[in-house]
Structure formats: C-alpha cells, structure tokens
Amino acid sequence: MPQELPIFQVDAFTSRAFAGNPAAVCPLDDWLPEATMQAIAAENNLSETAFFVRRERDYELRWFTPLAEVDLCGHATLASAYVIATQLAPDTARMVFRTRSGPLTVTRDGTRFTLDLPAQPADEVPPEPAVAEALGAAPRQARDERAPVVPARR
C-alpha cells in the first residue's frame, strides 16, 4: 500500500500568492530511499523540493532539483522553516537544519524569517592577463568564486 506523505508548496521571498520563489517541502518521519525523493522532486517539477526529518531539537534537511540532489538551497530552507513554524510547531522561533553544507539556522520574528547562510569566501588566484588588458591596469588581486566547496559529512 502506498505511503501518504504531506507536501507543502511555499512561495519564499514574498507575502503574495503566486509570487516569489516556490519550493516544495516534504516533512518526513524518517528518510525515504534517495531514488524515491528524487522521483518526488521530479514530479513536483519545481527548482527545489526540500525533505526534512526531525532529530531531537534539530532537523536534517536535504534538497533535490528535478534532476539531482544539491548541497545548498536558501529559499527551500526558508520554506521548510515556514512549514515548521506555521504548520507543525507554531511556537518555534529558531530552527537548526543539519545539511551537507553544515548547520543552517533560521530564526522567526513574527512573520519574518532570517536565514544564516555559511560564508564561502572565494580563493585568491593569479589575475588573467586578459582582465588586465581589458581594464587597462593590472588588478591588485583576483578571486575565483567557483572554487570547490567541500561539503560537511552527514
């Protein structure tokens, strides 16, 4: 017999319906197989579907696009916090999510939610000669924002 799962669609970054950035949120009692979560995300066909499991005071959180699991998603984290604070545990003012990118904390103040994202400073790299030529001067420093980030272990 198929299992019934709650699913919410939340528009982040807005106070109006059909605006902002939509994310699906699926609270779980325990983790589903990865292939099942991926299939649910593909079925939702939103940029991200968030799945979370409560573990004592914190939540484990994972995000899936229709094609793959991702390491970090701000709007789906805020959407998950919104579901917790408005539907599942209305008195909650602070939520900690354990993710592949490390712990993420969301605080609630009335109807406002604030997400503390991890800093990922760019690595310093040698300036490309084409940049100096285009600018007409050599840059004092250059940084590569595409430097790989090593995700935290679960």
Backbone angles phi, psi at 25, to 5 degrees: -130, 130
Nearest to 12 by CA among 50, 38, 45, 39: 50
Q: Is 48 annotated as catalytic?
A: yes
Token pair of 24, please? 């699906």
**Cβ distance 97 to 58 under 8 Å?**
yes
Residues 6+ apart with CB under 8 A from 64: 37, 38, 40, 41, 48, 49, 51, 70
Which entry of 4, 34, 48, 133 is annotated as an active-site residue? Answer: 48
* Helix (H), strand (E) at residue 139: none
Q: How many CB atoms lie within 10 A of CB 88?
A: 14
Backbone angles phi, psi at 88, to 5 degrees: -100, -40
- Report, as residue numbers or ranges, the catalytic residues: 48
